[in-house]
Amino acid sequence: MTNPALGQLASLPLELRLQIWNYLPLDSDGVKDEGKPPRQHLAILYTSRQISLEASTIVYANLDLQFTIDPYYNRKAWLRIKTNFGTDYALHDIDDAVKRGFDKLPYSKLRRIQIDIKAPHRRDPGQIVSLYKKCTALATLLEHAQDGLPDLSLRLSDSPSAKWTVDNAPQKSVACDRPRRVPAVDPIIDRPDNEASIYCDDSQIVLCAFLRLRNARSAQISIPDDMQRPDPFFTSLENVWTDEDPFGTYLDPDYTWNDTKLQERMDITFTDLDLELDMLPGPTADMLRLERFSEWYTDEAGGHSPYEREYERILSSWTGWKQSRDKVAQKLNWRYGVMRALNPRSLYYQYTGPQVSVSGLTLFMPENDDARKKSLCGSGSVSKVWDQDTWFRAYENGIPPFRLQNKWELLHIFWRFHSDVLPKEEYDMKDKLRGWVGGDDIAFQRIGFFEENGAGGARAGEAMDMDMGFESSGSGSSDGSDESDMEED
């Protein structure tokens, strides 16, 4: 029976029709009609379902996608996608990619995917964190590709202003040489854990975001000419990308690159960068701290929080790393208090009283105790409304680094004007954290905020009370030592 959707083409056998589709002008230098761009020729795919089914196979088989990721922070810019057909997409975020259908694209039918990652500038260390976040989002999109991936090429590219190397050595934007939260021997690189982590190299920080990719037809990592290939890491990663089974299949503890160890490595990288972000200088880090606070919740204060859910998954899995788990939990609890203190939708913040400036952040101070309680109560303590845009309007230049002095000031202000009025969960998440680890006790104690395992303690007078109770209203050391501490953590 003749298929009416094909018109006169229905009189031709399928084999001949497929040959006709091969003549579709797909390349960017293809034939143009009346000055229209080449992609207009693909309009034939929308004439009928049958033609789309037949011709799309040819189109996808000749389609190359190039994902370009730069290190700059722009709230409304994630990455660019270009095709060899002449199309160009600027995606805002992963939700934008889903709306445009990139989550449904049959990637396995494509000819090639190329991921081009631009080098971060070493004088703006927040750029490596920005790159990692962007790469993680892209990996999440590609990880769920149905039937796998096509030929996969990842390229690390220099730019006129930034390179992946410094004096022919790998660039390292952030100091991650703290003692590792891993067993005595690193399961991936097989070196003692008291040596600098291989993930301190910027190139391998971003590559860590792609450890979950699988089932690529082929895989290749390209690097600049003056960069030494850090094998066996790159070769092992290329091999992992071509494994046919999905992530989570290889659990053999004797296998060096088993998926459990890879997930541990990704979790360590995430927590390391999140801790580093607290104190990193530079404009990119300022905006990333603002974005982190603005995205803490997605609906209302105390509501759905992907950020908290990620930490819940990680901390609940660190059953054998109690000391490190407790330190990360304490700092997360502290960060939560600061986020609540700075929430621009809280009635406390909106109170139009005297102002106080803490490291460039303007906070409003009630004139007296009655005014404080009035500003915090009434329609509800901290506003349940959560609005990400309000954060960016309130702190248009971002959130400055949390050095020791402004940590004391921020938390003292918050504790003094919140703790006896607000419900405990409004300024403290210790009970929630204990629930994440199955009720196991977490040592929320007075510690040096910058103290690390085996790295020496904080000096007297610089201790941070992680319980948010202050013995005095002092603002910590004033001898400039917070700068050295910033480098120490």
| Spatial distance between the Cα atoms of 40 and 25, rounded to a whole number of angstroms | 10
Question: By 3-state DSSP, what share of the chain in percent is helix, strand and coil, each rounded to 5?
Answer: 40, 15, 45
Question: In terms of DSSP bridges, do strands 361-364 and 355-358 run parallel, antiparallel, or are they unpaired?
Answer: antiparallel
Proportion of the chain above pLDDT 70, given as a percent: 66
Query: Which pLDDT does position 423 carry in this prediction?
Result: 58
Q: Which residues have a Cβ under 8 Å from the Cβ of 400 and sit 6 or more positions away?
A: 286, 289, 359, 360, 361, 406
> What token pair was written down for 3?
């298929």
| Spatial distance between the Cα atoms of 258 and 282, rounded to a whole number of angstroms | 37
pLDDT in tens, 102-157: 998 889 989 999 999 999 998 999 999 999 999 999 999 999 888 899 999 999 99
Query: Which pLDDT does position 426 carry in this prediction?
Result: 60
Query: Which pLDDT does position 438 carry in this prediction?
Result: 82
Query: Which pLDDT does position 414 carry in this prediction?
Result: 57
Question: In terms of DSSP bridges, do strands 463-465 and 355-358 run parallel, antiparallel, or are they unpaired?
Answer: unpaired
Determine contact, residues 340/293, Cβ cutoff 8 Å: no
Residue 167 DSSP SS3: coil
Side-chain half-sphere CA neighbours of 265 within 13 A: 27
Tracing tokens 């990193």 back to the chain, one arrives at: 280
Determine contact, residues 298/306, Cβ cutoff 8 Å: yes
| Spatial distance between the Cα atoms of 453 and 488, rounded to a whole number of angstroms | 12
Determine contact, residues 447/330, Cβ cutoff 8 Å: yes
| Spatial distance between the Cα atoms of 245 and 188, rounded to a whole number of angstroms | 20
> What token pair was written down for 275?
């801790």
Phi, psi angle pair for 464, to nearest 5°: -105, 125
Displacement of CA 480 from its chain's centroid (Å): 32
Helix 283-294, helix 259-277: angle, nearest 10? 110
Tracing tokens 């229209």 back to the chain, one arrives at: 36
Parse the chain into domains and list their residue ranges: 4-57, 63-269, 278-488
Q: Which of 444, 442, 449 shows the shortest CA–CA distance to 410?
A: 449
| Spatial distance between the Cα atoms of 424 and 482, rounded to a whole number of angstroms | 30
Write out the chain's pLDDT in tens, 489 residues: 566 666 777 777 777 776 777 776 655 433 333 333 344 456 666 677 777 777 777 788 888 999 999 999 999 899 999 988 788 889 999 999 999 889 988 899 899 999 999 999 989 999 999 999 999 999 999 998 888 999 999 999 999 999 999 988 899 988 654 444 433 333 333 333 333 343 478 998 999 999 999 999 999 999 999 898 877 889 999 999 999 999 988 888 878 789 999 999 899 999 999 999 998 999 999 999 999 999 999 888 778 899 999 999 999 999 888 888 888 998 898 888 788 878 877 655 554 455 556 556 665 555 555 554 554 443 344 456 788 998 998 888 999 887 655 555 665 655 555 555 555 556 678 888 888 988 777 877 543 333 333 222 222 222 222 232 222 222 223 333 333 332 333
Which stretch of DSSP H or E encloses residue 285?
A: helix 283-294
| Spatial distance between the Cα atoms of 322 and 433, rounded to a whole number of angstroms | 13
At position 415, the amino acid (one-letter code) is W
pLDDT in tens, 328-379: 998 898 888 788 878 877 655 554 455 556 556 665 555 555 554 554 443 3
Measuring CA to CA, how many Å separate 41 from each of 12, 19, 85, 199, 247? 21, 16, 10, 46, 38
| Spatial distance between the Cα atoms of 330 and 321, rounded to a whole number of angstroms | 14
| Spatial distance between the Cα atoms of 130 and 74, rounded to a whole number of angstroms | 10
Query: Which pLDDT does position 157 carry in this prediction?
Result: 97
Determine contact, residues 79/138, Cβ cutoff 8 Å: yes
Residue 99 DSSP SS3: helix
